[in-house]
Structures are given as C-alpha cells and as structure tokens.
Amino acid sequence: MKVLVINCGSSSLKYQLFDMESETVLAKGMVEKIGLAQSLLSHSVAGKEKYEEETPVKNHNQALSLVLRALLHEEHGAIGALSEIDAVGHRAIHGASTFTGSVIIIKEVLDTMKDLIALAPLHNPPAILGVEACLENMPGMPMVGVFDTSFYQTLPQKTYMYGLPYEYYEKYSMRRYGFHGTSHRFVSRRVTELLGPGKKVITCHLGSGASITAIDDGRAVDTSMGFTPLQGLLMGTRCGDIDPAIVGILMEKENLTPAQVSDVMNKKSGLLGLSGVSSDFRYVEEAALAGNQRAALAIEVFYQSILRYIGSYIAELGGLDALVFTAGIGENSVSAREYLCRKLAYLGIELDEAANSLRGKEAEISKAGSKVRVFVIPTNEELMIARDTRDVLLGRL
C-alpha cells in the first residue's frame, strides 16, 4: 500500500509518499511561498538527485498539482500512475471534541472541519485547502484526517476544564484541547513497544513549539498545551503560562488590541522575547555560552517550565516509569537532556553520558538499572499519519 501524507500551512504544502509494507519514504518535499510571485518546489526521491523548480503557484490546488506532476515525472518521479497511491492522509490539526480518532474524510467531516475554524483560525483553513486540493486533483481518492487533538480526548474532565464561568465552556467550547498529539502518540507507542503496556510515561516534545504529555498505559491523562498552543512551556516565540491578568494590563498600558497582544504572546515572546537573540535554541545557547546573560536566563526559564510540568505530571500519574525526549531540542540537545536528568536525579534517574552524547537517534540514555528509564525517540508525525491512514482504510481503527 502507498500512502501520500499532506501537511499544509498557510503558504506551504509538505508531502511524503510512503510505502507502507516497508514503512519507507519513496518521495518527499514541499512547495513553499504559495501565493507569492515565485514559489519553490523541492522534491526528493530515494536514490535520485533532488529536484527543485521555481514557478508561480497561486494556491494549494496548484501546489498539489505541481507535486503530483513531480511524483509522476519520468526522471525525478517515484510512481508510474496516480492509481498507485492508495490513499491520502491529511494533518487535520484541530478536531475539538468531535473527532476522538482519525477518520475517513467524507463531506460531513469536511463540513465539520470548516465549523471548527473558529477554534483554530490559523491552522484549520490550510488543512481544509489541502483536502479540497485533493478532491480537485485526485477525485475518488480515499482520504483520512488525522487530528492533533484526538490523542487528548481521553483527558478527564477535571483536567480539561478551566476555572472560568461554565457558560464559556458551553458557548465557546473553551477547554483544554492539547496539540502535538500525533507526535506524543507516535513516541508513546514506541515506548509501549520497548517497555510493554501499563507504563506511566512523560513525553517531552521540545521543538520550536514545545509541549509535555502525561501518559498512563498509552492513554493521555494531561498535557501542557491548552485551548490554543500558547499555553504551557516557554517556547521559541510563545510565552507559555503567564498570569492571565497580564493580558488586560498589557492591552491597557501598551494600548494594544486583542490581536496585537496575541501577536506579542505568540510571536515575540519565549526564548526570543527573553533573550533578544533568537527563537532558535541553538543560537540562544551559543549566546549564553559566550556570556550573554539574557540568553542564559531564557534557557533557565525554559528548563524551569519543563521541570515544573514534569513534577506535576509525576504527581498526577502517581509515579513514573519512563521519560521521553523528542523534537528538535529533545532529540539533539545533549546539554538540555543532561541538565533536566540531573535535576531529576532524585527520582532515581541515572544518566548514561555516553548514550546521551548521541543526537537525533533513538537511544536509551539512562543507565541499566536506572529507576526511571529515559529515552530519546525521534518523532515522525508523517509516519504516524500514514499508519493511521492505512489502519482506518483497513478498518483497524
């Protein structure tokens, strides 16, 4: 079975074509700068030279048609005919309380995705454009929607409710939803493969967006992101948890509109806002090592937010069997993992320094006999979407 995975942003379309028997990537790439004068397709096929094309691409529909042409191309293509693709899996972002798992996209599902735009005004519209582009370019192709939020539909109500008047939950569906669910689910499944079922696990997705999830026997019981991806850890440009009173005070003092204050908290805060150097962890770390005090502070605040969540999730889970690091910082930063594991030594975590010196590879980084086992597990959201697409089609999900 071949599955094409599509992940759309407002001006980009990323894709990966999987052979599901071997779970290998046959082709992958992206169209960037959709809607601008010159867009760029970069396309790679296993064993072939990378292909790039600069051409105007007005919308996601045209972007997908460019991708399909590349996939079918005599020289740089990966398939002989579109009929070789069995299904398309879409990163469908926000499924609210409606979608508790991945689903075949029929008209009613697409309509519901449109109804949910109010909850994810930035992220759901591009996902919908991706679905519509497939309907146009590949009529009759089975499609599956994989929602970032569905992994968190197992959260108990006491965990997902905010202490606001109940009417806002009823009127605006205001509750914690959680995001990055596809990534946390992927690494959590891998932990179950490694350790067996019934384990208490905390997964740390530390990338430019960052979140932590508490998982009991494969089911999410709490997560750091909330009604939007702004809540939780300090991130590259997002502030994470702050006193909510600050929002109104900032609007008053800085004369900001709701949209402007949201822009400050989403795009100008976090590592970038605190350090004044960059949103990219590597550059902030470099600056800190060179003596920049604010960069050092930004990293300390980031680590502190992680420790705070890990500690509270251990209390919620009533113990911990495994701690997992994933995403850009989690997979690559030897120093971040070392700092966090040393702070958690009281749990009986014994770090294996040689194993921790690896980057970007799956590894157990705790010593044999460590009371809590610690893993680096590279995330693969596209593969998770492809697996779900296969499983939904085969009626396994």
- Residue 281 within binding range of ligand AMP, rule CB under 6 A: yes
- Which residue number, 46 or 289, has a Cβ lying nearer to ligand AMP? 289
Pattern 199-228, ligand AMP, x by CB under 6 A: --------xx--------------------
CA atoms within 13 A on the CB side of 316: 21
> Can you give the three-state secondary structure of 224-249, one letter per residue?
CCCCCCCCCCCCCCCCCCCCCHHHHH
- Residue 329 within binding range of ligand AMP, rule CB under 6 A: yes
Question: Quick one: CA dihedral 149, 155, 161, 162, positive or negative?
Answer: negative
Footprint of ligand AMP on 61-90 (CB under 6 A): none
| Min CB(226)–ligand AMP separation in Å | 19
Annotated catalytic residue 388: no
- Which residue number, 256 or 301, has a Cβ lying nearer to ligand AMP? 301
Footprint of ligand AMP on 251-280 (CB under 6 A): 280
- Which residue number, 77 or 328, has a Cβ lying nearer to ligand AMP? 328
- Exposed, middle or buried, 231 (CB in 10 Å: 0-12/13-18/19+)? buried
- Residue 359 within binding range of ligand AMP, rule CB under 6 A: yes
Name which position in 328, 370, 387, 392 contacts ligand AMP (CB under 6 A).
Answer: 328
- Residues touching ligand AMP, count (CB under 6 A): 12
CA dist list (Å): 237 to 226, 250, 261, 336: 17, 17, 13, 18
| Min CB(11)–ligand AMP separation in Å | 18
- Exposed, middle or buried, 87 (CB in 10 Å: 0-12/13-18/19+)? buried
| Min CB(329)–ligand AMP separation in Å | 4
CA 324 to chain CA centroid, Å, is 15
- Residue 327 within binding range of ligand AMP, rule CB under 6 A: yes
> Scanning the structure block, which residue is given the tokens 């590349």?
70
| Min CB(153)–ligand AMP separation in Å | 24
- Catalytic entry in 148, 216, 222, 388: 148
Strand pairing partners for 41? 31, 53
* Contact assessment for residue 125 and residue 117, using Cβ atoms and an 8 Å cutoff: yes
Residues tagged active-site:
148
Which residues contribute to the site for ligand AMP (CB under 6 A)?
A: 207-208, 236, 280-282, 327-329, 332-333, 359
